[in-house]
Structure 1
Amino acid sequence: MVQRESLLGAVRKRRYDGALYGAAMARPRKFDEQALLDAATELFWSQGYDETSVDDVSTASGVGNGSIYAAYGSKQGLFLAVFERYCDRRAAFVEGVMDASYDSAREAARAFFDAIIVDCSTQPGRRGCLMINSMASLGPKVPEVAAAGRRSTARMEQSLTDRLSEVLERPGDELATVSANLVLVSQGLIQLSRQGVPRERLDEIAAVSLEALPDAA
């Protein structure tokens, strides 16, 4: 009987502790999360994951270490929040470009490449793409990074496929391959920009890729 009561007491305590934990997690955060993630993004992007500490983020954002750890659990948890938000925005950026109406596949692809080239060429320090950089350095070690990068890439490819399907009568798998190639070329352009290749050269490389596109049904 005593043993049963002891067991029931332990169960009740776990439930009570769980309720307290849930209530703590549900409390609104006492800081501007978007401002914190903005500051963290700048640091992770410019310095890299290994060279950025939670202390750095705390100093840059004005949010205490304790609040950061309470919200994200660890530096990796904070980075994943930064990375997933960044990937979502990159996919949304491409989707926004593809929301416009185009008369041909080349016109749509040209608009895509132009947007990418302008975006990466005007970045301070030409630091490349946080998604590409992080997938290369962290993707093999952190499955969540690889997964988030794949989801973002898939969204970009799907956005291109949807637009191309309106101007090209091709099988779906062929359009998907064309879209995947366009995204791959765009990632190469971003990396070349990071290496300091001038915009005029990026435009020339993009133009060669455009010539390979089918332009009629």
Structure 2
Amino acid sequence: MARRREFDEDAFLARSTAVFWQKGYTATAMSDLAEAAGVGNGSIYAAYGSKPELFLLLFERYCESRVDIVRHAMADGATAEEAVGLFFRAVVADCAAHQPSWGCLMLNSLAELGRDWPEVAAVCARAIAAMEQLVDERLARDGIPEDGRATLAAEIVLVSQGLIQFSRVEDDPERLASIADSSLAHLAPALQAA
């Protein structure tokens, strides 16, 4: 029988995600998580098992939250171009919220662990596929021709990931926004309905 958690689980998960995001999986010890969240090591092990089990739980939640950013952006905007612009702006705002930028836990973890930890690579692949599907569905709804649409959706997701990675070396949100706007301008012709 699972032990009742005697701590705020949402706060613990948020703080633990931040620690893994900032330090990386390998450099993070369970004691780091306990200290950041003010929770005892024993309580963490009792509630979540091992460090790998906890990380995978947090990682899946994080990746789902990234998919939600795409979902919300693709639901807004009068046109596909506006929706993509909103998506890029949401990415820039998210990067600006963490200064210095932490990059992306999904991409950081894929680089650190993906070759040796198939579950991490699989979670990333599912998240990216879901993002591309959401973009593709929005493009289809706005009359973008099927021929090349999946590639266009993948390119849009790739631009967002490039912005996130570039935020690790570029700390000026205005410059990131300018790059996002330039990318959108290059994509604009393909975002027009046939």
CA distance in 2, matches of 1:188, 1:77: 29
Number of aligned pairs?
191
CA distance in 1, matches of 2:37, 2:75: 34
Deviation per CA, 1:31-69: give whole Å up to 9, x if none. Answer: 332222112112111122122111111122232222222
In the TM superposition, what is the alpha-carbon distance from 1:168 to its structure 2 partner? 2.4
Please give the secondary structure, in 1, of the residue aligned with 2:6: coil
Q: TM-score, normalised by structure 1?
A: 0.80
Which amino acid is 1:166 matched to? Answer: R
Which amino acid is 1:216 matched to? Answer: A
Please give the secondary structure, in 2, of the residue aligned with 1:212: helix
Which amino acid is 2:34 matched to? Answer: S
The corresponding residue for 1:8 is none
The corresponding residue for 2:193 is 216
Which amino acid is 1:155 matched to? Answer: A
Aligned with 1:98 (options 74, 85, 110):
74
Which amino acid is 1:96 matched to? Answer: H
Q: Percent identity?
A: 49
The corresponding residue for 2:124 is 149
CA distance in 1, matches of 2:176, 2:34: 37
Larger Rg: 1
Aligned with 1:46 (options 10, 22, 29):
22
Deviates more, 1:199-208 or 1:36-45: 199-208
Please give the secondary structure, in 2, of the residue aligned with 1:50: coil
The corresponding residue for 1:190 is 164
Aligned with 1:68 (options 36, 44, 49):
44
Does structure 1 residue 176 correspond to structure 2 residue 150? yes
CA distance in 2, matches of 1:166, 1:114: 21
Please give the secondary structure, in 1, of the residue aligned with 2:111: helix
Is the contact between residue 74 and residue 84 of structure 2 (CA under 8 Å) also seen in structure 1? no
In the TM superposition, what is the alpha-carbon distance from 1:197 to its structure 2 partner? 5.0
Which amino acid is 1:180 matched to? Answer: A
In the TM superposition, what is the alpha-carbon distance from 1:91 to its structure 2 partner? 0.7
Is the contact between residue 87 and residue 148 of structure 1 (CA under 8 Å) also seen in structure 2? yes
Does structure 1 residue 159 correspond to structure 2 residue 134? yes
Is the contact between residue 108 and residue 164 of structure 1 (CA under 8 Å) also seen in structure 2? no
Q: CA RMSD in A?
A: 1.8
Which amino acid is 1:71 matched to? Answer: A
Deviation per CA, 1:102-131: give whole Å up to 9, x if none. Answer: 22x322211111111121123232111111
Is the contact between residue 161 and residue 175 of structure 1 (CA under 8 Å) also seen in structure 2? yes
CA distance in 1, matches of 2:54, 2:15: 11
Does structure 1 residue 204 correspond to structure 2 residue 178? yes
Q: After superposition, where does 1:16-27 map in structure 2 within 5 Å?
A: 24-25=1-2, 27=3
CA distance in 1, matches of 2:33, 2:181: 41
In the TM superposition, what is the alpha-carbon distance from 1:153 to its structure 2 partner? 1.2
In the TM superposition, what is the alpha-carbon distance from 1:90 to its structure 2 partner? 1.0
Aligned with 1:78 (options 21, 37, 54):
54
Is the contact between residue 157 and residue 179 of structure 1 (CA under 8 Å) also seen in structure 2? yes
